[in-house]
């Protein structure tokens, strides 16, 4: 099984509750959504995978796609895995490649906390097929005001039920146009599964015409969600501030 991979590198996680944790990132190509704020330029089939040879040095080697699971595991394993909190399977949307993940995951041994899946939270059937191979799930819940797409409430609900079998948190990206009703719906979806699941409110990094929420508005949105959930945090993207990939 071989798939197009956009990047493999070692860095620190710049979003959510795992902020600052060292991870090896395996960025799989392709996505089933088209968010207005998306800053990933990966297409369904990039010709080459960029592999940083030494963390932070930007000394990329280009390897022709597609890559096999054994090949990706070998490249990830070259990064001194015991130093790393986990391996991040990210994208794009990694759950577009379930057969590849089923082959790859057992080969990714040696980090401190296993495999972290970073997903847009819409492909429940695909998650079911790999959930037993995953240790941690970071799930996006897409709000129409920021994504520019229709809501995926039912898909997210179904997805979160499966994801809650593992250690999971939910992230919502919010902007200037995010409404009270959206954040309350998101919190209620989480509450129906487990009100103890952490919700991360991430201010959008303005891109593609999407405007950021004012500081006071972020606190209002957090307060609204805290009426329903036990743990709601406001955490921006930080890897760009740190100059990390
Ligand atoms: S789900 Fe992620 S990768 Fe896909 S379009 Fe949205 S922001 Fe981009």
Q: Is the peptide bond before 8 cis (omega within 30 degrees of 0)?
A: no
Position 241 in a domain: no
Say how many residues make up the chain: 245
Position 197 in a domain: yes
Q: Residue 245: pLDDT above 90? A: no
Position 34 in a domain: yes
What is the model's pLDDT at position 96? 97
The predicted-structure confidence for 112-170, as pLDDT tens digits, reads as follows 999 999 999 999 999 999 999 999 999 999 999 999 999 999 999 999 999 999 999 99
By three-state DSSP, how is residue 23 classified? strand
Position 240 in a domain: no
Q: Are 24 and 111 in contact (CB under 8 A)?
A: yes
Position 243 in a domain: no
What is the model's pLDDT at position 130? 98
Distance 104 CA to ligand 1 centre (A): 22
Q: Tell me what the mean pLDDT of segment 78-103 comes to.
A: 97
Distance 140 CA to ligand 1 centre (A): 9
Q: Tell me what the mean pLDDT of segment 223-232 comes to.
A: 98
The predicted-structure confidence for 180-211, as pLDDT tens digits, reads as follows 999 999 999 999 999 999 999 999 987 767 88
Position 182 in a domain: yes
Q: Please give the number of the atom of ligand 1 that sits closest to the Cα of 31.
A: 4
Q: Output the pTM of the full model.
A: 0.96
Distance 138 CA to ligand 1 centre (A): 13
Calpha distance 112→128 (Å, rounded): 24
- Structural domain including 83 reads 2-234
Position 163 in a domain: yes
Residue nearest to atom 7 of ligand 1 (CA): 38
Is the model more confident about 93 or about 210?
Answer: 93
Position 72 in a domain: yes
Is the model more confident about 63 or about 40?
Answer: 63
Distance 113 CA to ligand 1 centre (A): 25
Calpha distance 28→130 (Å, rounded): 15
Domain count, the chain: 1
Calpha distance 220→23 (Å, rounded): 32
CATH code at position 173: 3.20.20.70
Q: Please give the number of the atom of ligand 1 that sits closest to the Cα of 37.
A: 7
């Amino acid at each position: 099984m071989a798939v197009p991979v956009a990047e493999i590198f070692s860095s620190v996680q710049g979003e959510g509750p795992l902020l600052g944790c060292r991870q090896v990132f395996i960025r799989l190509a392709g996505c089933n959504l088209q968010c207005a704020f998306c800053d990933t330029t990966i297409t369904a089939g990039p010709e080459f995978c960029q592999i940083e040879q030494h963390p932070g040095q930007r000394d990329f080697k280009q390897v022709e796609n597609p890559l096999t699971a054994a090949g990706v595991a070998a490249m990830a394993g070259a990064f001194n895995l015991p130093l790393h909190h986990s391996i991040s399977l990210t994208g794009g949307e990694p759950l577009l490649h379930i057969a590849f993940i089923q082959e790859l995951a057992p080969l990714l041994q040696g980090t401190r906390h296993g495999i972290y899946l970073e997903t847009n939270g819409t492909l429940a059937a695909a998650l079911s097929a790999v959930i037993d191979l995953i240790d941690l799930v970071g799930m996006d819940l897409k709000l129409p005001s920021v994504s520019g797409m229709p809501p995926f409430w039912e898909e997210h609900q179904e997805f979160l039920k499966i994801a809650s079998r593992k250690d999971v948190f939910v992230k919502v990206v919010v902007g200037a146009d995010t409404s009270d009703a959206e954040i309350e719906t998101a919190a209620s979806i989480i509450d129906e599964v487990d009100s103890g699941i952490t919700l991360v409110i991430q201010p959008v990094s303005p891109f593609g015409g999407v405007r950021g929420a004012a500081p006071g508005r972020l606190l209002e949105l957090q307060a609204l969600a805290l009426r329903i959930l036990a743990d709601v945090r406001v955490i921006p993207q930080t890897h760009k501030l740190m100059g990390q990939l």
